[in-house]
Amino acid sequence: MPRQKKISKKSIRKIKAAKPEKEELLLQSPRGMRDILPADQIYWQQVRRVSEKAAADFGYRRIDVPLVEFTNIFSRSIGEGTDIIDKEMYSFSTKGGEKVSLRPEFTAGIARAYIQHGMHVSPKPVKLYYTGPCYRYDRPQEGRFREFFQFGCEALGEQDPVIDAQMIQMGWRVIYQLGIKNVRVNVNSIGCPSCRKSYRNLLIHYFESKKQKLCIDCKRRLETNPLRILDCKEDKCVQVRASAPQSIDHLCEECRTHFKELLEYLEELEIPFELDSNLVRGLDYYTKTVFEFMSVSESGEEKRKNALGGGGRYDGLVKMLGGENTPAVGFSLGLDRLAAEMKKLGARIYKEPKPRVFLAQLGVFAKKKSLKMFEGLERSGIRVAESFGRGSLKSQLKVADRLGVEITLILGQKEAIDQTVIVKDMASGNQEIIDAGKVIDEIKRRLKK
């Protein structure tokens, strides 16, 4: 038997010191996530401005909740049988062994914050709004992302259907003011836990008789969450549910009155709405009112529908998480979908106010003085542009001309030493030398004139 060669200590050290092969650097965003570039930010800025102004106009105050929550906040409130909990959450364990998840939606976290910070003692309703990213490990499709952004409002502590109507009014106004004019609201009532129990049994009985015609997911939903079958987009399930019992035919007296009053408010507001008996929303915590905002457009004989957001009432959520019995209602809009719809329709976009003054400089000393002058002009409310990185005066004046400013301030080495500045009227080409300390007052006078 051949003698095995002994490995030297020096070779062992070399093996240990050898660096592992570098992992390939992928210069792209993860699947289902993307960069929002400056060319698209003009739409996003308009969405943010309009939505946040609407929230303020209706008396809602901003709240920010963590991006990460304990997983059971979502599993208990959203429901174990829902797609979000079963297969769409980014969940993981921390180094301390805590089970946490990236938020798939905002409402559960806001209900948790309402309980934690004792907001139940505040005047009712407690009106809150939010905006930010959410995460769902869903298969990316057109208009859907794993990282998506939402704006929404929540009103906690009031059960009057006038608040439901106001929520719909606010969401509809935001969409309409963004230039998406053909908006319809789909609305339904899924009742309260007491009347929904008997309706759920009717649904189970109906779908059990049609079980062989359901898709695989809906066969599973039949055992866990039969109402979700009404929301399935599979063709065969759509056909089966066409003859299913409707929730509004099985409401208790309280829920029927609540829904009737809501519809009367919507008629008074002249908001276009349509009853949709198959609308249930995807989360377990909903009660009574559920609604969805749809953009509808027609191309030839084809009618295109695009859901832009939705919401509903969740009277039992706060109590379910350990708080007091608290009626509540809310809605959210998808910023991604709103921006995409605006772009598709050629809707009005947000335009930054144009600068009226340009600051040009020549030489290192002049550049130092220009920084302070630029700050002074900005602090005085004068929109000013600059091109500090450009060398020649000619190239800087070209930038000023392209921006269409009214006045250009020129600061060279001599002006910096003399504490003066050249003021050039871009329309006439006339130039005047003035004291640097008086430049702000002089510019204000000229712009006002």
Percent of the chain at pLDDT > 70 equals: 90
Helix (H) or strand (E) holding 169: helix 161-177
- Report the C-alpha gap between 81 and 216 in whole angstroms: 14
Count how many domains the chain has.
Answer: 2
Domain termination site, one of 345, 365, 392: 345
Q: What pLDDT score was predicted for residue 125?
A: 96
CATH of the domain at 401: 3.40.50.800
Q: Output the six-digit token pair for 128.
A: 């809150």
- Report the C-alpha gap between 330 and 156 in whole angstroms: 9
Instruction: State phi, psi for 134 to the nearest 5 degrees.
Output: -130, 165
Instruction: State phi, psi for 73 to the nearest 5 degrees.
Output: -60, -40
> Are residues 153 and 128 in contact, defined by beta-carbon separation less than 8 angstroms?
yes
Q: Rounded to the nearest 5 degrees, what angle is found at the Cα of 313, between the Cα atoms of 219 and 195? A: 60
Q: Find the radius of gyration of the CA atoms of the chain.
A: 30
CA 396 to chain centre: 39
Q: What pLDDT score was predicted for residue 14?
A: 62
- Report the C-alpha gap between 155 and 313 in whole angstroms: 9
Q: What pLDDT score was predicted for residue 300?
A: 46
Do 151 and 270 share a structural domain? yes
Kindly state the average pLDDT of the residues 351-364: 88
Q: Give 93's strand partners.
A: 99
User: How many C-beta atoms surround the C-beta of residue 403 within 10 A?
Assistant: 16
Do 401 and 261 share a structural domain? no
Cis omega (within 30 of 0) for bond into 20: no
Question: How sure is the predictor about 9, in pLDDT bands with cuts at 50, 70 and 90?
Answer: low
pLDDT digits (tens, 9 = 90+) for 392-420: 888 888 889 999 999 999 999 999 999 99
Do 132 and 54 share a structural domain? yes
Q: What pLDDT score was predicted for residue 350?
A: 75
Residue 415: give the domain boundaries. 357-448
Amino acid at 162: V
Q: At what angle do helices 364-379 and 439-448 cross, to 10 degrees?
A: 50
Q: Would you say residue 311 lies in a domain?
A: yes
Do 399 and 368 share a structural domain? yes
Do 400 and 305 share a structural domain? no
* Distance set, CA 247 to CA 197, 233, 277, 284, 287 (Å): 11, 19, 7, 15, 12
Helix extents (H) in 58-158: 71-78, 83-87, 107-116
Question: How sure is the predictor about 301, in pLDDT bands with cuts at 50, 70 and 90?
Answer: very low
Kindly state the average pLDDT of the residues 243-255: 91
Do 377 and 315 share a structural domain? no
Do 147 and 268 share a structural domain? yes
Q: Give 148's strand partners.
A: 134
Helix extents (H) in 192-252: 193-209, 216-224, 235-241
pLDDT digits (tens, 9 = 90+) for 89-135: 888 999 999 999 999 999 999 999 999 999 999 999 999 999 999 99
Question: How sure is the predictor about 198, in pLDDT bands with cuts at 50, 70 and 90?
Answer: confident
Q: What pLDDT score was predicted for residue 83?
A: 57
- HSE of 2 in the Cβ direction (CA atoms, 13 Å)? 3
Domain termination site, one of 302, 320, 345: 345
Do 396 and 339 share a structural domain? no
- Report the C-alpha gap between 308 and 304 in whole angstroms: 13
Q: What pLDDT score was predicted for residue 102?
A: 93
Q: What pLDDT score was predicted for residue 142?
A: 67
